[in-house]
Chains A and B, each alone.
Chain A
Amino acid sequence: DTGVSQDPRHKITKRGQNVTFRCDPISEHNRLYWYRQTLGQGPEFLTYFQNEAQLEKSRLLSDRFSAERPKGSFSTLEIQRTEQGDSAMYLCASSSWTSGSPGGELFFGEGSRLTVL
């Protein structure tokens, strides 16, 4: 499978614990994005990497959230001191901008669903 993969697919944790999600993008894609989707809503942008550089961060990304992409390949999203409001689906996407995809469309993974008890 050469698509975007995310791990774990599901995570249940208690309030106050830390969680980490991993995303492996499509190998030739240099751009990587994290989005959050709550039930019944569209995804909301969290952060964007081009190669290893984090170029954009949403105001939704509080100081409890940190994302890294250390070697410009896989990325991790860590949430510290989780709160019940963090319960959501965390989606990773990757893209490249080529003549074959002039819009640079995002290819999404299946998401990591977080439940905070």
Chain B
Amino acid sequence: AQKITQTQPGMFVQEKEAVTLDCTYDTSDPSYGLFWYKQPSSGEMIFLIYQGSYDQQNATEGRYSLNFQKARKSANLVISASQLGDSAMYFCAMREGRVNAGNMLTFGGGTRLMVKP
């Protein structure tokens, strides 16, 4: 089974609107971490947001928030007030086990987001 599944290969959103990128994960480890990265056409992977499995509240970082539903094993990224510069590939990733054991991440296949002016 896929450990990280991103079911939306591509999405369009109108500038200034909010958009949700889906991510589901599969693990039996009670300790894990979930990450979202942005990869613009330049190729660099840019860290956006992190959620630990024991965190009680959903993570937020500026316009990014993570809708963490542990029972459903989903970690969707919400981008508010989309900007043209948000057009990029977005990857969801998971670390299984505790962070002090190292961050060997498993990535999903990505979602290409295109923001329309």
Which residues of A pack against B, CB within 8 Å? 31, 33, 40-45, 48, 50, 55-56, 89, 91, 93, 95, 97, 102-111, 113
Chain A residues positioned under 8 Å from B95 (CB to CB): 103
Q: Name 27 interchain pairs, CB-CB below 8 A, sorted by A.
A: A31-B103, A40-B110, A41-B109, A42-B4, A42-B93, A42-B108, A43-B45, A43-B91, A44-B107, A45-B105, A55-B102, A56-B102, A89-B43, A93-B45, A97-B100, A102-B99, A103-B99, A104-B33, A105-B47, A105-B50, A105-B103, A106-B103, A107-B47, A108-B44, A108-B46, A110-B43, A113-B43
Is A103 a contact of B45 with CB atoms below 8 Å? no
State the Cβ distance, A92 to closest chain B Cβ, in Å: 10
Question: Interface size bucket, B side?
Answer: 20 to 34
Is A42 a contact of B107 with CB atoms below 8 Å? yes
Q: What's the A-B contact tally at a CB cutoff of 8 Å?
A: 71
- Residue from A33, A44, A104, A110 with most neighbouring chain B CB atoms (10 Å): A104
A104's contact among B91, B99, B106, B110, by CB below 8 Å, is which?
B99
Closest A residue to B110 by beta carbon equals A42
Q: Give Cα A48–Cα B100 distance, bound, in whole angstroms.
A: 13
Closest A residue to B108 by beta carbon equals A42
Is B102 a contact of A111 with CB atoms below 8 Å? no
| B35 on interface, CB distance cutoff 8 Å | yes
Contact with A along B21-40 (1 / 0, CB 8 A): 00000000000010101000
Q: Give Cα A47–Cα B93 distance, bound, in whole angstroms.
A: 16
Chain A residues positioned under 8 Å from B56 (CB to CB): none
Chain A residues positioned under 8 Å from B52 (CB to CB): 102-103
| B81 on interface, CB distance cutoff 8 Å | no
Q: Give Cα A100–Cα B108 distance, bound, in whole angstroms.
A: 26
Q: Give Cα A56–Cα B35 distance, bound, in whole angstroms.
A: 20
